[in-house]
Amino acid sequence: MRNNRRQFLKSSLKSSAALAAASTVAIPAVARSAQSPNDRFRVSVIGMRRGLAHALSLARMGKSGENVEVASVCDCDMKTAEAAAKRLESEFGKRPATVQDLRAVMADKSIDGVSIGTPDHWHAPATIWACQSGKDVFVEKPLAHTVAEGRKMVEAARKYRRMVQVGTQCRSSPNVIEGVEKAREGVIGRIYMARAVSYKVHGNLGRHEPTEPPAELDWNLFVGPAPEQEYSNFRYRRWYWLKDFCNGDAANQPVHQIDIIRWAMQIDRHPVRIQSLGMVGVHDDDREWPDNQTFACQFDDGRMITVEHRNWWTPSEAGLRDPYRFHGNPDACVGAFLLGTEGYMLFPDYTSYYTFLGPKRELGPHAAMPNTDQRWHVMDYVHHPNWLAACRSRKHEDLHADVLEGHMATTMPLLANVSYLTGRTIDFDGDSETIANDDEANRYLRKSYRKPFVVPDEV
């Protein structure tokens, strides 16, 4: 029989703590030497909703001749883990092991790397624990739940000499790489400003109605470092709109576009001023983050990046969604614009770019994948190979999306959220990664953790 909520949380916490004690791993004093291509690289994929795409990408690499194996799939919901294992067995002929607690993965010395597709609040603990246990990491964007977490993830990667790749797949797109190179060469002149947009259609998310968690789900593990709380299907399925688990839509899709922008504009530092406004303007539900939010970041040289996300029906912008669809999605309007003195450049998705030059906006250099229905899937299958190559070379410089790049891109929307929450302009010191003369705002740059799911001050 299923326990009541109190019994469930108590027993789950007890078993999780016992596993944590049993699975404590020694931190290697010296990182592994470079792996030979002849050595099998064994990966565990953690968080199997988004992670299923990771597992399929890695398994496809193995089938095509790369010496890589999806050794296990891990999810706090065993039904989800078993479904993923069954699909991998069906498509690739080998069934990976299924694991419920990611700490068992960290304790498994036969695992060389982990690929993390969990909710945002688990990214930092999972990444840091993996680095400490001698494993390389692929982790989804946005990199971290707070600015301080992102910095700790960079520190852990460097300290333990781990290859930590961030899931900003645009970094591995040949067409996006070409567009960035053209921008840096000056095809649109001097770039003085850029804009990222993410307009999507999200329906009513519903309400938090507490119930017992299903038997196959370890709710305590899902909550992890977040405050203890009651289960509901709303909290489990709609976590990406809840502050304990995610950073909201401003730090979800736009991280891809922000990363392209700062890459093309050669911005290697944080903004100095950030302003943001937001609201819940469409649906009456229990989401906690805005469904419509706008923010602006200004740098010490005066250049600006503006970002906007909208939820619900909206006009397009600069051709996005109409001639330039986002992976064939008829409702989404997503992209990045670079504004230059000789024209502008548009990145409407993860696999294409267009330039428009002069006062008549004549089409200049451009490249795009012809099959829009395949664009998203292709991107999932090009980013992991770069990670594996760096895992073998042991050079983080070989990564297309190193953890530091992910930290720089993610910090901007995180600071925008601080501005939204405080209702003030944020003056940011990039060297110390603190907010000047604002104790309240600084408190949002870090968070406390529920034991034993803790990111330590010293990684």
**DSSP per residue, 26-84:** PPPSSPPPPPPTTS-EEEEEE-TTTHHHHHHHHHHHHHTT-SEEEEEEE-SBHHHHHHH
**What tokens were used for 287?**
């989401």
Q: What is the pLDDT of residue 136?
A: 98
Is 459 a member of any domain? no
What mean pLDDT is predicted for residues 237-248? Answer: 96
CB of 277 closer than 8 Å to CB of 287: no
Q: How many helices (H) and strands (E) does the chain have?
A: 14, 16
Q: Which helix (H) or strand (E) holds 86?
A: helix 78-92
Is 181 a member of any domain? yes
Report the Cα–Cα distance between both ends of the chain, in Å, rounded. 41
Q: How many domains does the chain have?
A: 1
Q: How many CB atoms neighbour CB 341 within 10 A?
A: 10
Is 87 a member of any domain? no
What mean pLDDT is predicted for residues 238-250? Answer: 95
Q: What is the pLDDT of residue 93?
A: 96
What's the CA gap between 257 and 176, in Å, rounded? 11
Q: How many CB atoms neighbour CB 77 within 10 A?
A: 21
What mean pLDDT is predicted for residues 356-364? Answer: 97
Per-residue confidence at 316, pLDDT binned at 50, 70, 90?
A: confident
**What tokens were used for 89?**
């067995």
Q: What is the pLDDT of residue 22?
A: 35
pTM: 0.91
Q: What is the pLDDT of residue 144?
A: 98
Is 413 a member of any domain? yes
What digits encode the pLDDT tens for the residues 131-187? 999 999 999 999 999 999 999 999 999 999 999 999 999 999 999 999 999 999 999
Is 397 a member of any domain? no
Is 89 a member of any domain? no
What digits encode the pLDDT tens for the residues 181-231? 999 999 999 999 999 999 999 899 999 999 999 999 999 999 999 999 999
- Domain of residue 253: give its range: 174-370+404-443
What's the CA gap between 114 and 138, in Å, rounded? 6
Q: Which helix (H) or strand (E) holds 355?
A: strand 352-357
Per-residue confidence at 330, pLDDT binned at 50, 70, 90?
A: confident
274 phi/psi in degrees, rounded to 5: -140, 130
Question: What's the gap between Cα 26 and its chain centre?
Answer: 28
**What CATH number should be reported for the domain holding residue 342?**
3.30.360.10
Is 345 a member of any domain? yes
- Within 8 A by CB and 6+ apart from 227, the residues are 244, 450
Is 154 a member of any domain? no
